[in-house]
Amino acid sequence: MKKRNWLTEKSKKQNQLGQLAATWMLIQTLFLATPGLANQPKPTLSYSQLLEKLDRGEIQKIEVDPTSELARVTLKNQGKNELPLNVVLFNQNPELINKIRSSEVDFEVKPTLDNASALGLLTNLVLIGILLGGLVMIIRKSAQASSQAFNFGKSRARFQMAAKTGVKFDDVAGVEEAKEELQEVVTFLKEPERFTTLGAKIPRGVLLVGPPGTGKTLLAKAISGEAEVPFFSISGSEFVEMFVGVGASRVRDLFKKAKENAPCLVFIDEIDAVGRQRGAGIGGGNDEREQTLNQLLTEMDGFEGNTGIIIIAATNRPDVLDKALLRPGRFDRQVIVDYPDCQGRLGILEVHSQNKILDAEVSLEAIARRTPGFTGADLANLLNEAAIFTARRRKEAITNLEINDAIDRVIAGMEGVPLLDSKAKRLIAYHEVGHAIVGSLMEGHDPVEKVTLIPRGQARGLTWFTPDEEQGLITRSQLLARIAGLLGGRAAEDVVFGHEEVTTGAGNDLERVTSIARQMVTKYGMSELGQLALEEDDNQVFLGNGLMNRSSDYSQEIAAKIDVTVREIAEKSYKIAKNIIRDNRSLIDDLVDLLIEKETIEGEEFRIIVNRNKEEKIEVNLQDKLVKV
């Protein structure tokens, strides 16, 4: 606080200085613009008058200044305070000199500095001074702007320090294995003697690896909260700034502060921002980042195992990290923080519902079951949105309605305004029902959760499927079913409105179809091309190994075959989808009418209608047979 005051005071002073300089400059320009002011009128005497006065013996003293060709004449009867008279001499006049010599007058030749040139010199000096002063001020200003760069930690710390995070392991749910592993780190911080007496070296770094929002930061805070040690945190991206060397000095400073406060925990978020493989990457290496990383490595090596500082870093890209970071003695422990499973989601929901009022009808288990793939952050957000909806509707407790709305919102974004009944709306309805019907009737497809015509985010209509809970492995027939379901939208447009009327609405569907089909061929060995992995993960490009040396593992011939096979998969699936649409045309028409009327059909209702239709069909078939018999 004090330091900050001091800073502002100082800058105030500088401001005043600046104003002063500005006035000076102004005065100076005025001064220069009006030279009359500079050469004030002085009492003068003409040359002939001088000669006359010499003759009359009225002169006491003459000083001749050869540079300005002036004679300064002091008269005998002149008052003490009067200035000497100036006489302009046109040349060194021998006549005058002789005359002066012969008379009894003090005579001096005094080449004084020319007044005007002296003034000029002075002005120049002042101007130069002001310019230099200005320059210094500008430099100071810019230095101040990046003061964090030069004395980071001294003025404004870029890392955060919290004496107590107040987070406990109980606040983190759904990541039990990670918590178990990290419990050990808490013990290291709390009772290092337990390990050091046995000669064990305490690990220096732990790397938390997992997708965004799964609770890595929260876990790090919880460790420091449980161990009751200070928590230093900085984000990897904050290391890398404008100037080369800043990152390195920040690292140095961070560790200096940490050492002063040991035992403590240093948390480096997004370490991949600094910790990428050195000397690699698109667009050449990044000197600054490399320096920062080198400094980080040096610092980590620098403190001996038992100083009581533990570094925890988080990343969602462990694959891009420099190998040197993962060496023993650095981040040699890796803890995976993954998406929570159903049980984990329930735990997280319990944590975040503690401070919320839930209606008795709300079942957290049901929410957990409905939200596969949600991270802890998503779930926290979900409950928060539900609370906001509830407050907006002036209800007393969160009900299932708000929960449902919040889930939709978290999954698909803001709700838009539904279209008026029009041809476009009918087309969208057919498209969505097409997805839902093909999805429902394909063996092995995920169940329909909801079909809606209410636009959300980019989408004009949406069909949701709930993926089977944590299935992990997916079979070939499931993938084919997914492809057919994705093509169901386009197939419905095609069958109902004709080939010329299909729309751009299927663009996203087709992208996903292509991606799944391609992976089936090149990654999972699910085609005639055989059990080969023809391509590695697509995130290769970011690996830092660069685009340049990416070798394809297959020949041109195989490349052509891949394309053909991918196309075959898509075409076959499209045929299947179209057949399903044709076979169920009247059911689809009914569903579209219902959807346009209600805007949304829930999965349960949808299934009931489809099943009823199936039974009717069987009945009709039976009757047909009966008639035939």
Which two tokens mark 588? Answer: 């689809």
The residues in 201-230 that bind Mg ion, with binding defined as CB under 5 A, are 217
Q: At 255, phi and psi to the nearest 5?
A: -75, -30
Judged by CB under 5 A, the stretch of 41-49, 400-408, 482-490, 555-563 that binds Zn ion is: 482-490
> What mask of x and - would describe binding to ligand ADP in positions 304 to 333, judged by CB under 6 A?
----------x-------------------
Tell which residue, 38, 54, 132, 34, has the closest CA to residue 96: 54
d(CA 126, CA 556): 76
d(CA 437, CA 517): 21
Whole-number Cα distances in Å, 178 to 186, 192, 193: 12, 21, 24
d(CA 99, CA 587): 134
| DSSP of 224-281 | HHHHT--EEEEEHHHH--SSTTHHHHHHHHHHHHHHHT-SEEEEEESTHHHHBPTT-S
Which two tokens mark 323? Answer: 């190998």
233 near Mg ion, rule: CB under 5 A: no
Instruction: Kindly tell me the burial class for residue 96, based on how many C-beta atoms sit within 10 Å of its own C-beta (0-12, 13-18, 19 or more).
Output: buried
- Provide the 10 A C-beta neighbour count for residue 242: 8
Q: How far is the CB of 234 from ligand ADP (least distance, A)?
A: 14
Q: How far is the CB of 229 from ligand ADP (least distance, A)?
A: 19
Which of Mg ion, Zn ion, ligand ADP, none is residue 377 near (CB under 5 to 8 Å by kind)? ligand ADP
Tokens 């000096």 found at: 125
For residues 176 and 589, which CB has a smaller minimum distance to ligand ADP in the complex? Answer: 176
Q: Which residues contact 295 (CB under 8 A, 6 or more apart)?
A: 247, 248, 251, 252
The residues in 495-534 that bind Zn ion, with binding defined as CB under 5 A, are 509
251 near ligand ADP, rule: CB under 6 A: no
Which of Mg ion, Zn ion, ligand ADP, none is residue 509 near (CB under 5 to 8 Å by kind)? Zn ion
3-class state of residue 395 by DSSP: coil
Q: How far is the CB of 360 from ligand ADP (least distance, A)?
A: 24
Judged by CB under 5 A, the stretch of 43-51, 238-246, 445-453, 488-496 that binds Zn ion is: 488-496
Q: Which residues contact 165 (CB under 8 A, 6 or more apart)?
A: 221, 222, 224, 225, 231
Residue of 210, 489, 544, 603 that binds Zn ion (CB under 5 A): 489
Which of Zn ion, ligand ADP, Mg ion, none is residue 173 near (CB under 5 to 8 Å by kind)? ligand ADP
373 near ligand ADP, rule: CB under 6 A: no
Judged by CB under 6 A, the stretch of 28-36, 74-82, 208-216, 383-391 that binds ligand ADP is: 208-216
Which of ligand ADP, Zn ion, Mg ion, none is residue 489 near (CB under 5 to 8 Å by kind)? Zn ion
Tell which residue, 166, 182, 193, has the closest CA to residue 219: 182
Catalytic, out of 241, 402, 432, 493: 432
d(CA 55, CA 480): 129
380 near ligand ADP, rule: CB under 6 A: yes
For residues 217 and 224, which CB has a smaller minimum distance to Mg ion in the complex? Answer: 217
For residues 320 and 517, which CB has a smaller minimum distance to ligand ADP in the complex? Answer: 320
Q: Which residues contact 468 (CB under 8 A, 6 or more apart)?
A: 446
Count of residues engaged in binding ligand ADP, rule: CB under 6 A: 17
Q: Which residues contact 53 (CB under 8 A, 6 or more apart)?
A: 45, 59, 73, 75
Judged by CB under 6 A, the stretch of 87-95, 206-214, 246-254, 519-527 that binds ligand ADP is: 206-214
For residues 84 and 376, which CB has a smaller minimum distance to ligand ADP in the complex? Answer: 376
Which two tokens mark 592? Answer: 């579209």
Residue of 89, 377, 459, 596 that binds ligand ADP (CB under 6 A): 377
- Our answer to whether residue 432 is catalytic in this structure is yes
Count of residues engaged in binding Zn ion, rule: CB under 5 A: 2
In the chain the first and final C-alpha atoms are separated, in Å, by 98
Q: Which residues contact 502 (CB under 8 A, 6 or more apart)?
A: 490, 493, 494
218 near ligand ADP, rule: CB under 6 A: yes
Q: Which residues contact 333 (CB under 8 A, 6 or more apart)?
A: 181, 203, 205, 206, 207
Query: Is-contact 251 288, C-beta < 8 A?
Result: no
Residue of 203, 205, 215, 225 that binds ligand ADP (CB under 6 A): 215
Residue of minimal Cβ distance to ligand ADP? 376
The residues in 160-199 that bind ligand ADP, with binding defined as CB under 6 A, are 172-175
269 near Zn ion, rule: CB under 5 A: no
Which of Mg ion, Zn ion, ligand ADP, none is residue 175 near (CB under 5 to 8 Å by kind)? ligand ADP
State the residues that interact with ligand ADP by CB under 6 A. Answer: 172-175, 212-218, 314, 348, 351, 376-377, 380
State the residues that interact with Mg ion by CB under 5 A. Answer: 217
State the residues that interact with Zn ion by CB under 5 A. Answer: 489, 509
Query: Annotated catalytic sites, by residue?
Result: 432
